[in-house]
Copies of this chain bind each other. A is one copy, B any other.
């Protein structure tokens, strides 16, 4: 009689695939399987849709895309057929109907053969997920046996069964599984790590099973996947945790018949550090996966552009970042000097492209058309403010086109909420780095980053925010104090609280009803601007991307 092994040696291959880069993904998967085989693991687990990357949206129903992904699955089988290890990879399977929807699937591979295919049962369709549009659900639930242990498989949402009539985990528990594997591509937002911990521990405990949660890592347009794979034991305690925001082959030795492992607590998350890491990964992967050599950033002397430049340097290195200061008529001397110091601290290329000559020339034309004496006789208008922002965009996009680099836009979530930004001006760019970061968090992240090394000048952090588009302009002339504004925004956008509830909730904090109602009115009025943003890296529970509002909407308007 063969003696049963006492442990299951599991490798979680927490990888960063690239959507559609089948060559890269195939090599990465085969490499990690080979490493795991060499390490004599019993099992190696890859994240959801690891062969093609996640999310793929409508690519899931592009025939040649799915065919290529199936070929890669075959290649992986072929390359590992002499291996002892069992591997689990995510892929897209063709659906039942010829031109119908396809399936989000996983394959369990052993000795070069697919021994089990499990489709995803629960298809999340809310917020940033639209899987019902692209996939059809599983109709059966399978298990397999490894070293005498019955193992169930599931994909991401399948373990979040509480909200659904079908309960995949319960079904598999009834089939007698001891271990459940969940392959995920669960995007980061600041509350996600706790939510995942809660659900995995709950599922493990209520079913008295081991639960192995393998998550993807990497940036993909608006989304960042934070990895953080982990394993919960049948008591519902987490006994092993992989790193956040890093690719790795994470090893867990699961003691199936004996000793208990000690608990590894999630601990108190440093939310600001997390957001910082998420933004780094979001920038790096957007730039690398889209093959940009360099990025360009307009440096205004304010905190937003200073933080974006810092993040870009941390993500890409100083050689790949160009900072451009574009002083205008209302720019302060301090703004230029602060930008210069920042650029020096960061070690980036620093350019100065003043917009004043073109701005003056434009206004002369306007004066002529309006038949006023000269440009100084023109009133200062919103059109003139926007014009300056757009002239800066003209300069930055010229650099982008001329030198083939990506323009990073610097606006934050608070500004985008209020429409305190210029469309085709400072909103321009291929990636909106801070588009889901509240202004008060921009400050916190800057402070956090300066603790690592002092790069952002104190003067930038301490000055009153200003767009410097008219004389003596301050953000706070047009907006509530950011400490107040961001509280309103969080309750309204993330918590979906009603006007009444927000007024009630913030009345003790001294925020007036008028400010709250005016803020909400402005949020809704500026939907048209947000419709034209580039992808913005999601870090909160509700980013603009997951909030769908009509532009034409007269609710609350006279």
Binding site for B on A (CB under 8 A): 18-22, 24, 55-59, 61-65, 68, 99, 125-126, 130, 132-133, 220-221, 285-286, 289-290, 353, 357-358, 361-362, 365-366, 369, 381-383, 386-387, 390-391, 393-394, 397-398, 401-402, 424, 428, 430, 496, 498-501, 528, 531-535, 547-557
Contact = CB atoms under 8 A, between A and B. Distances in A.
A366 B358 CA distance: 12
A68 B531 CA distance: 26
Contacts of A57: 548-550
A531 B550 CA distance: 16
Between A21, A358, A532, A557, the greatest number of chain B beta carbons within 10 A of the residue's beta carbon is seen for A532
A554 B394 contact: no
A128 to B, nearest CB: 11
A554 B23 CA distance: 10
Given A18-B554, A551-B290, A554-B21, A401 B386 contact: yes
B390 A394 contact: yes
A381 B556 CA distance: 48
Given A62-B496, A221-B550, A286-B552, 12 more contacts: A19-B552, A19-B554, A20-B553, A20-B557, A24-B554, A58-B547, A130-B548, A220-B552, A221-B552, A289-B554, A366-B398, A387-B394
A555 B68 contact: yes
Contact of A290 (B63, B401, B552): B552
Q: How many copies of this chain sit in the oligomeric assembly?
A: 2
A471 to B, nearest CB: 19
B428 A424 contact: yes
Nearest to A286: B552
A64 to B, nearest CB: 5
A26 to B, nearest CB: 13
A402 B387 CA distance: 10
Nearest to A52: B555
A64 B289 contact: no
Contact of A550 (B19, B401, B555, B556): B19
Contacts of A65: 555
Contacts of A533: 532
Contacts of A496: 61-62, 99
A410 to B, nearest CB: 16
Contacts of A63: 498, 500-501
25 contacts: A19-B553, A20-B555, A21-B555, A24-B554, A55-B550, A58-B548, A59-B549, A59-B555, A68-B555, A99-B496, A130-B133, A286-B552, A357-B365, A358-B358, A361-B361, A366-B398, A382-B401, A383-B398, A383-B402, A387-B394, A387-B398, A387-B401, A390-B397, A391-B394, A532-B533
A489 B397 CA distance: 29
A91 B548 CA distance: 19
A240 to B, nearest CB: 31
Nearest to A406: B528
Contacts of A366: 398
- In the A-B complex, list the 7 residue pairs whose CB atoms are closest, starting with the nearest: A20-B555, A383-B401, A21-B554, A383-B402, A63-B498, A57-B548, A20-B553
A528 to B, nearest CB: 6
A358 to B, nearest CB: 6
Contacts of A353: 365, 369
Nearest to A547: B58
A234 B382 CA distance: 61
A513 to B, nearest CB: 14
Contacts of A382: 401
A265 to B, nearest CB: 30
A362 B394 contact: yes
Contacts of A551: 221, 290, 535
A365 B361 CA distance: 13
A41 to B, nearest CB: 29
Contact of A424 (B58, B132, B397): B397
Contacts of A289: 552, 554
Contacts of A390: 393-394, 397
Nearest to A220: B552
Between A65, A552, A555, A557, the greatest number of chain B beta carbons within 10 A of the residue's beta carbon is seen for A552
A547 B390 CA distance: 30
A457 B92 CA distance: 52
A419 B336 CA distance: 36
A387 B399 CA distance: 11
Contacts of A428: 424
Between A20, A353, A361, A381, the greatest number of chain B beta carbons within 10 A of the residue's beta carbon is seen for A20
Given A500-B64, A548-B57, A381 B402 contact: yes
A233 to B, nearest CB: 33
Contacts of A59: 549-550, 553, 555
B549 A58 contact: yes
A456 B296 CA distance: 43
A271 B428 CA distance: 37
A392 to B, nearest CB: 11
Contacts of A528: 430, 534
Contacts of A557: 20
A506 to B, nearest CB: 16
